Structure 1
Amino acid sequence: MGSTLLILTLVFVVCLIINVPIAISLAIAALTVVLIEGTIPVSFLIQATFTSNDSFALLAVPFFILAGELMSTGGISKRLIDFFRSLVGSWTGSLGLITILASLIFAAISGSGAATVASIGGIMIPHMLKGGYKAPYAAALSASAGALGPIIPPSLVFIFYGIMAGVSISDMFIAGIVPGLLIAVTLIIINYIVCKKEGIVDVQSAEDKKSFWKALNEAKFALLTPVIILGGIYGGIVTPTEAAVLAVVYSLIVSLFIYKELKFSDLMDVFLRTTITSGTVMIFVGTATFFGRVLTLEQIPQFVANSISELTTSPIMVLLLINLFLLVVGMFIETVAAILIFIPILLPIVIPLGIDPLHFGMVVCFNLTIGLLTPPLGLNLFIGAKVANVKFESTFKYLTPMLIALLILLGIITYVPEITLFLPELLAK
């Protein structure tokens, strides 16, 4: 048992060191064990990879990715920003506040942290730089606001966790509302403190000013998007997968025929970007499923669970150890890949301790979301730094208090399960 785990780990780490893509590294590591052990047929790789993608729930992933691409290209994100600008006006840190609020709404459309940073940050960072914000702070704030993407429903990360853990995806969406809002409020407070300290008072130029009612009228179809998506899911009208299709249809109609910023000639590029992103994710799903099934057949999750049980049986300590482990994992492995790899290992550890899988899912997803801000991976941070045209190291001064605040929130969510379970239990009555 121990030797099998050692082989898996060594092969996987070596593959990563020599820059083999994570998805392929997973397949090579698991296939090495299969060939050495000789008890599992090699054809199991093909079978596991194919059947893992043959899932109705997984159809939501490419559709939500497509919806995010359409809304980003079709002018929806721009109108969201104009609306919040008219709502907020000119005061201390208002451009930062607009960035957070627009990211909150866009996250409720795209379900992706990287998409949120690229879309909202791509528009707001130049405005913040023009308004006197330091480039490292603008990059750090946009990257941190992008952390709302995987937590505010609908979330691609929640979809993958729900599939891997056998938890209701709709319940995961509902459970993410309060933690997502807590992230937004925390960032708003930090933004105000930083801008107050640095004396940043945003004054809108004449061309930027719009009356609230005019901005609301222009943004009404954009603001209706999350209402339609989430309302359809929580109202029991559509499943998350059907909601993703609905989001695509709605965003196509709005972008093509109402805002008219998306041309038919642009669709091929949108579909191509979506296909590349979705294909990459689905390869992850296939090879990670094969990896996970090999782990299960070799009884490695039970081995790890027993090893941890020998150290401690306290749920408090187990959750602490898992959080520390995942914080390190998030620095090196992309969020979806980490969920696909480690949920089959970690879930058998926490369920016997009486930890609710729904609550544990929020802990895992929130934890790995922090990895979007921490190098060497730090996808959100790198996107924000690239848009602001600064080195990502220069953002650490401003990123540090945001990370500390998010870690405190992680601790609260970990040990106060009611924050996660309150809304699902209330709506279930």
Structure 2
Amino acid sequence: MSISIFCGLIILVVLVILLLLGVPVAVALAVSSICAILPILNTGAAVLTGAQRIFSGISIFSLLAIPFFILAGNIMNKGGIAIRLINFAKLFTGRIPGSLAHTNAVANMLFGAISGSGTAAASAMGAIIGPIEEEEGYDRDFSAAANIATAPTGLLIPPSNVMITFSLVSGGTSVAALFMAGYIPGILWGLACMIVIYFLAKKKGYQSTKRFTAKEKIRVCLQAIPCLLMIVIVIGGIIGGIFTATEGSVVSVVYSLVLSLFFYKSLKLSELPKLFLESAQMTGIIIFLIGVSSIMSWVMAFTGIPGAVSDAMLGVSSNRYVILFIINILLLLVGTFMDMTPACLIFTPIFLPVCQALGMNTIHFGIMMIFNLCIGTITPPVGTTLFVGVKVGQTKIENVIKTLLLYFAAIFVVLLLVSYIPALSLWLPGLLGYV
């Protein structure tokens, strides 16, 4: 048995055992990595190198974007932006069957494009639009399923923290290129869910009769424009080269603060310390994960694990489509029991060399991987967005899972399109000269 396979088995076995024992993911990553390198290095050298890798892994300027985007998302979640986006989304859904559920889907895409959080979108939109849907006779399970299925679109439509994480672990892939690459897949996800909503709503007879007057449309648009301008300012600034993604994250915090405190006046200064604390706690978890994942990346590179995995997979088949299908299935399975950030940190160094050997663009692979892991956020047993959506929708997982299966089928079709049609991910970055 080669040293690569032996070390890889050590990582896998120790990691699985620790996770089953309930050890925090970050600690499990560090311990399994150190255990894997012990057959090659002595304990002192392994621990010292591991500590150095943690600090070098987090001593990257672009990582500053993560805490600022998290803070901006938390501010917007509490700052009255959600209701303005819901009202704006209603203008597009009109009187089609299930219009309120369609409104939820569009609002999730818009809110996700601003906050970059699927969980925040599910929480904010579900809490506001859920009671309205119930008043109009919508079934709770139907409403919750529509909200849950469309919430992860915000993780694909920029800004997205997991894209920043992928940029770092993949060796410096352009964040701006990844941001642009996420638009079409994210919108396709939302549209696929809206098709399911249409047929389910038509079957159940959910028909809206409300019409907006011209005056109401103008008022709703005027209220939503400041929210939507954030997308233009932040993403436009990054793409236009006015500022970097890290600087753009700071701009998003300042803009969301001004909007919530002084324009909408729906956030109080006394609420800011709590928001800062919540953002700091979330940042600490993510940054520590990135730090310890640097140990695993070093161990895998040192022992040649990615090369061994690449050779093994290419030995199974040299067919690009077969390999991509296998990777998709593996990532879907990983996403069901592991959060996005650790999954991205662990499996990018393993699968990226395989895809590069097949001639796949790194940006395309990044979007395919993130798409897969997004699905994991709405599947049991550890789907955070699923749990939040069920709680906000005041229902149970077993009640919504049957309906969610229809959404999973539609989303999986889009996943295959994104995997096998590179243009869906690369057309916009190519248009802007990133590819």
TM-score, reference length from structure 1:
0.96
Deviation at 1:338, TM superposition (A): 0.5
Deviation at 1:38, TM superposition (A): 2.4
**Are 1:199 and 2:205 matched, yes or no?**
yes
- Asked whether the 8 Å contact 2:62–2:245 carries over to 1, the reply is yes
Q: Could you say which residue in structure 1 is the equivalent of 2:11?
A: 8
Q: Could you say which residue in structure 2 is the equivalent of 1:169?
A: 175
- Asked whether the 8 Å contact 2:76–2:260 carries over to 1, the reply is yes
- Asked whether the 8 Å contact 2:77–2:124 carries over to 1, the reply is yes
Aligned equivalents of 2:147, 2:65: Cα separation in 1: 26
Q: 1:240-288, CA deviations, whole angstroms, 9 ceiling, x for partnerless residues?
A: 1111110000011111111111111000111011111111111111111
Most deviating of 33-42 and 234-243: 33-42
- Asked whether the 8 Å contact 1:80–1:102 carries over to 2, the reply is yes
Deviation at 1:98, TM superposition (A): 1.0
- Asked whether the 8 Å contact 2:26–2:289 carries over to 1, the reply is yes
Most deviating of 116-125 and 63-72: 116-125
Q: Could you say which residue in structure 2 is the equivalent of 1:284?
A: 289
Q: Could you say which residue in structure 2 is the equivalent of 1:158?
A: 163
Q: Could you say which residue in structure 2 is the equivalent of 1:18?
A: 21
**Are 1:352 and 2:357 matched, yes or no?**
yes
* 1:320-335 mapped onto 2 (5 Å cutoff): 320-335=325-340
**Are 1:236 and 2:241 matched, yes or no?**
yes
* 1:204-215 mapped onto 2 (5 Å cutoff): 204=210, 211-215=216-220
**Are 1:379 and 2:384 matched, yes or no?**
yes
Among 90, 94, 102, the residue aligned to 2:99: 94
**Are 1:140 and 2:145 matched, yes or no?**
yes
Among 249, 256, 259, the residue aligned to 2:254: 249
Number of residue equivalences: 428
Q: RMSD of the TM alignment (CA)?
A: 1.9
Q: 1:202-239, CA deviations, whole angstroms, 9 ceiling, x for partnerless residues?
A: 35599x99811111222221121111111111222111
Aligned equivalents of 1:347, 1:318: Cα separation in 2: 12
Equivalent residue letter for 1:6: L
Q: Could you say which residue in structure 1 is the equivalent of 2:67?
A: 62
Residue ranges of structure 1 left out of the alignment (5+ in a row):
none
Aligned equivalents of 1:411, 1:83: Cα separation in 2: 31
Aligned equivalents of 1:243, 1:370: Cα separation in 2: 27
Q: 1:262-315, CA deviations, whole angstroms, 9 ceiling, x for partnerless residues?
A: 111000111011111111111111111211211111111111111112212221
Aligned equivalents of 2:423, 2:96: Cα separation in 1: 35
**Are 1:118 and 2:123 matched, yes or no?**
yes
- Asked whether the 8 Å contact 1:114–1:146 carries over to 2, the reply is yes
Query: Could you say if the C-alpha distance between residues 323 and 294 of structure 1 is closer, same or farther in structure 2, counting changes exceeding 3 Å?
Result: same
Equivalent residue letter for 2:181: A
Q: Could you say which residue in structure 2 is the equivalent of 1:403?
A: 408
Most deviating of 181-190 and 407-416: 181-190
- Asked whether the 8 Å contact 2:193–2:411 carries over to 1, the reply is no
Equivalent residue letter for 1:17: L
- Asked whether the 8 Å contact 1:73–1:262 carries over to 2, the reply is yes
- Asked whether the 8 Å contact 2:7–2:37 carries over to 1, the reply is no
Q: 1:14-70, CA deviations, whole angstroms, 9 ceiling, x for partnerless residues?
A: 111111111111111112223343255311121111111111111111111100111
Q: Percent identity?
A: 37
Among 263, 278, 296, the residue aligned to 1:273: 278
Query: Which ranges of 4 or more aligned residues in structure 1 deviate by more than 4 Å?
Result: 203-206
Among 306, 315, 318, the residue aligned to 1:313: 318
Most deviating of 87-96 and 182-191: 87-96
Deviation at 1:127, TM superposition (A): 1.9
Aligned equivalents of 1:134, 1:292: Cα separation in 2: 47
**Are 1:414 and 2:419 matched, yes or no?**
yes
- Asked whether the 8 Å contact 2:94–2:211 carries over to 1, the reply is no
Among 100, 110, 114, the residue aligned to 1:109: 114
Equivalent residue letter for 1:42: V
Equivalent residue letter for 1:221: P
**Are 1:369 and 2:343 matched, yes or no?**
no
Aligned equivalents of 1:271, 1:203: Cα separation in 2: 42
Deviation at 1:415, TM superposition (A): 0.9
Equivalent residue letter for 1:175: A
Equivalent residue letter for 2:431: L
Aligned equivalents of 1:351, 1:329: Cα separation in 2: 21
- Asked whether the 8 Å contact 1:91–1:202 carries over to 2, the reply is yes
- Asked whether the 8 Å contact 1:91–1:203 carries over to 2, the reply is no
Aligned equivalents of 1:215, 1:234: Cα separation in 2: 28
Q: What secondary structure sits across from 2:265 in the alignment?
A: coil
- Asked whether the 8 Å contact 2:114–2:230 carries over to 1, the reply is yes
- Asked whether the 8 Å contact 1:87–1:212 carries over to 2, the reply is no
Deviation at 1:423, TM superposition (A): 1.2
Deviation at 1:138, TM superposition (A): 1.4
- Asked whether the 8 Å contact 1:86–1:211 carries over to 2, the reply is no
Query: Could you say if the C-alpha distance between residues 416 and 15 of structure 1 is closer, same or farther in structure 2, counting changes exceeding 3 Å?
Result: same
Q: What secondary structure sits across from 1:37 in the alignment?
A: coil
Equivalent residue letter for 1:222: C
Aligned equivalents of 2:234, 2:194: Cα separation in 1: 25
Deviation at 1:92, TM superposition (A): 2.0
Q: What secondary structure sits across from 2:207 in the alignment?
A: coil
Equivalent residue letter for 2:316: L
Equivalent residue letter for 2:123: A
